[in-house]
Structure 1
Amino acid sequence: MSENSFSRELRLLTPTHFENVFQNAIPSVSPQLTILARPNNLDHPRLGITLSKKRVKQANQRNRLKRLIRESFRHNQHDLPNTDIVVVGKTGLDTLTNEQVSLLLKKLWKKLSRRCAQSQSG
């Protein structure tokens, strides 16, 4: 159970952490989500989520989407490179079903891993 937990050390906690990711980030983009990553000096990835009220109007939808993103991250964290990751929601994300969001995230995690590997080798 604990190896798939989402403990405090797996989160981006301060605005400075988020700003560091936004500067010089490696993107993984879809029409509904943008995932930005930046290598960190830790031995595990960390996650931050931004879903604005402007993009996802209802609080219950924002909460549902955050839960899905955290869940997906928990299950895929061991396949991700050691990076700080920020998931940014876009307009239309709240119209997707849970299954669609999960599939989209799985695809974006793979894309992100590939791009991070390419940037480190090249």
Structure 2
Amino acid sequence: MTSRFPRSARVRARSDFDRIFEHGRRQATPRLAVHWHATATPARLGLAVSRKVDPRAVGRNRIKRALREIFRHWRTQLADGDYVVVVRPSAREATREQLERHFLDVLRRLGALAALPGSMVPGTMPPAPDASATGSSSSGAGLASIGPDPTSP
């Protein structure tokens, strides 16, 4: 699959939107909501950006361009199915990077995008240090060797 965004990768028909809204799973952030209906076809994207988001067409089109580019970039790593992104008014002030962060967060929560290596889900603790990195195989002795001793001069 190439990284292009062909016509076949777009959800365009009203009946498709209705089916995705009715049967799909939904996750949201304050800036956008994503409806995902798993199918056997490669990932397709539909966008819903109303005038409530931005009354000016240029603002709505900026958001749509950014989301299409993000989707095009990540499409090969997404689970098969149809995705509809419903943009909320708070997205009006968002940068492209913020939109991407929200979009990827929602996709991970839906299970449509695996967590990237080295990335952490917000609100989780950092991974425990590897026992081989501390130089000790016992769990208690390795803790004493982490960092300098606060009582030494």
**How big is the shift at 1:103?**
1.7
Deviations 1:12-71 (A, max 9, x none): 1210010010002211210110000111231x1110000001222221111111011101
Aligned equivalent of 1:105, options 97, 103, 121:
103
**What TM-score comes out, normalization by structure 2 length?**
0.69
Q: Percent of counterpart pairs with the same letter?
A: 28
Say which structure is richer in helix.
Answer: 1
Task: Name 2:19's counterpart in structure 1.
Answer: 20
Contact 2:32 2:85 in 1 (8 A): yes
1:1-122 equivalence runs, <5 A:
3-42=2-41, 44-113=42-111
SS in 1 for 2:23: coil
Task: Name 1:120's counterpart in structure 2.
Answer: none
Q: Distance in 1 between matches of 2:69 and 2:29?
A: 19
**How big is the shift at 1:114?**
5.1
Contact 2:32 2:86 in 1 (8 A): yes
**How big is the shift at 1:83?**
1.0
Gaps of 5+ in 1: 116-122
SS in 2 for 1:60: helix
- The CA RMSD measured in Å over matched residues stands at 1.6
How many residues align? The count is 113
Bigger radius of gyration among the two: 2
Structure 1: which 4+ aligned runs deviate by more than 3 Å?
Answer: none
Q: Which moved more, 1:72-81 or 1:98-107?
A: 98-107
Gaps of 5+ in 2: 114-153
